[in-house]
Structure formats: structure tokens, C-alpha cells
Amino acid sequence: MTTFPQVSLVIPVYNQVHYTKQCVASIARCTDVPCELVIVDNASTDGTGEILHRLDAKVITNPSNLGCAKAWNQGILASQGQVIGILNNDIVVTPGWLSGLLRFMDKKGHGIVSPAAREGRLDYNLEQYATDFVRRCAGASRATIYGACMLIHRKVFDRIGLFDEGFSYGGCEDVDFLWRATKSGFSVGTTGAVLIHHFGMVTQEAIKRMGQQHYPEANQSHFLTKWKRTVRGNWVHRRWDDLKTSCRDRYERVRYGHALVERFG
């Protein structure tokens, strides 16, 4: 029998209660490994708080919207797990997702792992689709992470620290963390042995509607100051990254029948 490490799942939320309910319900239904659930409410005003306090979860309620990095860090500091999941509230997981990611982490020795994802509307049978996807793509992997759902071993935080709270609200903090982790010697990976659904950019769009229109520019400026380049880099970096991404996606579709991250309308 496989022995898994203790796991904590950290989910920051800001309004969008219907997405949060779907996310938490899928975790309750599909998670096959005992875990601690930590939810950080960034001052939601749509009834999210009332829903959260009915759950079997540790709930942290902030008086104002502190943004993703600060909320993630609050959840990490309040968690007990040796492995910590950082999840968006607009994802839906599938059966066996957590054990699949833990096996991948253990087998490859990665410090950070992510599942494959289908993005867009949830207008299909997710569990049936996931079963076929995993059957085809279980052997596929990428040396990158998917920011909407990451499992991070605590030793990564012990070595490089928490998320940089200089990034406000949402954007660039996951890339910054990835770069710091890989620079410190940790390997990372996304596996086709697990699939989730991601509605996509829900929290960020909610923040924009709230009136915080300039957070991407502020985050990009902070990233540039810190790394002496932008996330996408100069024209040569962008063209090279786009070419690599296109070739990788094309190879995955030919080899496995799917790309590990697929976007639909």
C-alpha cells in the first residue's frame, strides 16, 4: 500500500461563489488521499463567507482583498502538510487527481508538479473525458508548471521562501516562484496522468471589475526590476518561446492525441 505525505490544499477566493462551490465539491468527491483544506477569503461580498464556514476546512477571512501572493502565503503558513497544493477556485478536479500528482512527484523527484488541464466552458462530461485523456496521455510530461493547480513540496519553501508579496493581486508571482525554485535546483513537471478543468482567469477578471485595472502593469514592473527582464522577454525570447510551445503542442497532439494544456471556447 502506498504511503503518501501529509497534504494541505490552499485555495484563495474572492467572490465567484458558484465557482468555489464547484471546486470544493469536486475536491470532496474526487480526492482519494486525506488532506487538509485551507481557504483564504479575500473579503468576498457575495455570500462566499457563509458557504465557507459550513465546510470542513480551515477558513482565513481577510478584511480586504490582499491579492493572490499574500493569500497563498497566509494559507501556507496556516497549513500542516509536507506537500502543499496551491489551487485556483475556478478549477474542477477529477477522480484520483491528488494521488496521481503525488505519485508523479515521488517518481520524478520534482519539487513542484501540476496536472494537465482543459480550459474554457465546462460543457462536456469531464470525468469521461479525463478517463480517455489519461489513458492516452499518462506517459506525457512537460518540464513546467500549470499555475492554476500546483503541488509544492515544503522543502521548496524552506529553501527559497514564500511567494513574493511585492506582486499585487494576481500575475507574475507564479512565474517568479517557478524561476526561483528552478534556479535553486528544484525540478518541476506537468503530467498527463492527471487532468483537471480550468474555467480560466475568473479571479483576475473579478479584480478588474472591482476597479483594480493596473495590477498587471505593476506586477510586470516589479518583475522587471527583480529579474532585469519581462516574463516574456524581448522579441527574440518571445519568438523562440512561441516556436517551442507550438512544436511541443503539435508533438503532444500527434503522439498522444491531446496537448497537455488545451483551450476551448
Residue 59 has pLDDT above 60, yes or no: yes
138 within some domain:
yes
70 within some domain:
yes
Q: How far apart are CA 147 and CA 186, in angstroms?
A: 16
Residue 211 has pLDDT above 50, yes or no: no
Domains contained in the chain, number: 1
Average pLDDT over residues 98-126: 97
43 within some domain:
yes
Which three-class secondary structure state does DSSP give residue 197? Answer: strand
46 within some domain:
yes
Mean residue pLDDT across the chain? 91
1 within some domain:
no
161 within some domain:
yes
pLDDT-derived band at 109 (thresholds 50, 70, 90) equals very high
pTM for the full predicted model = 0.92
Residue 53 has pLDDT above 50, yes or no: yes
Average pLDDT over residues 16-38: 96
67 within some domain:
yes
Q: Which residue did the predictor score with more confidence, 252 or 204? A: 252
2 within some domain:
no
CATH of the domain at 221: 3.90.550.10
Q: How far apart are CA 254 and CA 233, in angstroms?
A: 29
Half-sphere exposure of 186 (CA within 13 A, CB side): 25
Residue 31 has pLDDT above 80, yes or no: yes
Domain encompassing residue 14? 7-263
Residue 265: predicted pLDDT: 66
